[in-house]
Structure 1
Amino acid sequence: MSQIQCQVDSITPLAGAVYQVILTPAQPVSFYAGQYILVHMGENDKRPFSIANAAFDNHKIELHIGADENNAYATEVLERMRHDGSIAISGGHGEAYLQSNGQPIILIAGGTGFSYTWSILQQALKDHPHTPVSLYWGGKNTNDLYLYDELSKLADEHDQFNFIPVVEFAEDDWSGRTGWVHHAVVADYPSLSDVQVYIAGRFEMAKAARDDFSARALPQTQLFGDAYAFI
């Protein structure tokens, strides 16, 4: 797959060390909602980031990059973008993209894994307006859920969409769900046999979710996540 040069239009803080990056590619990037791009840092150094925008909006590429001081892998990418004002990418990559078959969709995100589910959510609301979609987004605290207000508004506007925020370390004034995000799904669904699940987050979470969801009768053919190509 050939590389595409992109102009870096903006790098905007979203929350803490999470940044929204907007790229304008020299030509539209062909991808499916839920795929990722590779940022080409060198001939043998290509780093994956989920595409946050929907596939119907491919004149740009939106990324949500978590780049704290302990994450040189992502921080170096942001530094290159800021310094050069452009970056080479390729995509879309990955097999965990939206493959709606009419079954209800459950999206599960941990932290900046949200960008993967954000792309799928926007595409699903446009292309499959009668398919129920539930998004479970987990963060260590409420500040990690940086699009909380926008998602709450979307849930008010779309009857088929349900937003379930989950906070691991809740503040005293938090009245929502707490704990691990995939445990909230297990609590809500005695059976997962007739749904599709799309998940993005840390490998440990994806592995634990796969085991727990299998016990809830979720067929492996209805579970999607880039992590499952490696674990």
Structure 2
Amino acid sequence: MQRIECHLTAMQECAEHIWHIQLTPEQAVTFRPGQYLQVVMGEKDKRPFSIANSPTRPGLELQIGATPGNPYPGEVMERLRTTGQLTVELPLGKAWFREESSRPVLLIAGGTGYSYARSILQYLIDTGFNRPVYLYWGVRQESQLYEGQEVLAWADEYAHLHYVPVVQYPEPGWRGSQGMVHEAVLADFASLDQYDIYVAGRFEMAAVIRQSLHLRGVSDEQLFGDAYQFI
């Protein structure tokens, strides 16, 4: 594992209370698509965040949801604003993209868990892919699909990529999928036993998805998500 100093290159609020962070490491970094890093706030205070870019692209990117009153991400954002740098440790996580598999790929993301899926999607685009890939991105409100237009453009360009945004509380006029993201997946797929399934989001969401997929005959060998190392 590497411990590296990173300098802030760019910080942009891409949706309300969701920030896209670009970091420039002081030395070369090595990681696999779908892995995460830890921000070192102190030796006993290390905070994990998914790496939001593919290792085929320069630097490190994060997508941080920092709502007011939540110190866990808020203190990381404050350190970035005041010092312009972070100390990080990487690579971490066992839910990286299984490149050697030939199965179709199903990515299930909740909220800023999309950053995990984004790393895998960029890697697939940069290295070429010919197996079907499905992204289901679940959010509470449509405004939280902060990079939805980019994903739509990718889906238009790459015939093997299919994108389904799922909004839990849609506004009038929303014509896409509604409700919980895993329910949309189960409604669309009669069988999932031939898929590699990657999951990122809140632990509670990941637990519900695992239980629902087990009932559909999905084995743990097909299911990848860093949450499953802890729950």
Q: How far is the alpha carbon of 1:70 from its aligned partner?
A: 2.6
Partner of 2:146: 146
Deviation at 1:220, TM superposition (A): 0.7
Q: Give matches, 1:72-111, under 5 Å.
A: 72-100=71-99, 101-111=101-111
Aligned counterpart, 2:63: 64
Of stretches 118-127 and 91-100 in structure 1, the one that deviates more from structure 2 is: 118-127
Q: Secondary structure at the match of 2:217?
A: coil
Alignment partners' CA distance in 2, 1:128 and 1:48: 29
- Runs of 5+ unmatched residues, structure 1: none
In the other structure, the counterpart of 1:220 is 220
CA distance in 1, matches of 2:105, 2:38: 26
| Separation of aligned partners in 1, 2:36 and 2:2 | 15
Q: What letter corresponds to residue 130 of structure 2 in structure 1?
A: H
Distance 2:18 2:79 in 1: 16
Offset at residue 126 of structure 1 (A)? 2.9
Give the % identical residues. Answer: 44
Cα distance in structure 2, aligned partners of 1:125 and 1:107:
15
Partner of 2:56, secondary structure, is helix
CA RMSD for the aligned pairs? 0.9
Using the size of structure 1 for normalisation, the TM-score is 0.97
SS at match of 1:79: helix
One-letter code aligned to 1:37: L
Secondary structure of residue in 2 paired with 1:55? coil
**Aligned-residue offset at 1:131:** 1.3
2:4 and 2:153 map into 1 onto residues whose CA distance is 35
Tell me the secondary structure at the aligned position of residue 89 of structure 1.
Answer: strand
1:6 corresponds in structure 2 to 6
Which residue does 2:131 correspond to in 1?
131
Kept after mapping to 1: 8 A contact 2:56/2:126: no
Residue in 2 aligned with 1:33?
Answer: 33
- Which residues of 2 match residues 117-128 of structure 1 at below 5 A? 117-128=117-128
Gaps of 5+ in 2: none
State the one-letter code of the partner of 1:124.
L
Q: CA deviation at 1:128?
A: 4.6
Q: The residue matched to 1:20 in structure 2 has which SS?
A: strand
- List per-residue Cα deviations over 1:34-81 (Å, max 9, x = no partner): 000110111111110000000111x30000000011311000001001
Structure 1 CA distance for aligned equivalents of residues 158 and 227 of structure 2: 30
Q: Secondary structure at the match of 1:3?
A: strand
1:209 aligned partner:
209
Q: What do the CA deviations read for 1:2-60 (whole angstroms, capped 9, x no partner)?
A: 41001111111010000000000011210000000110111111110000000111x30
Aligned 1:187-206 pairs, distance under 5 A: 187-206=187-206
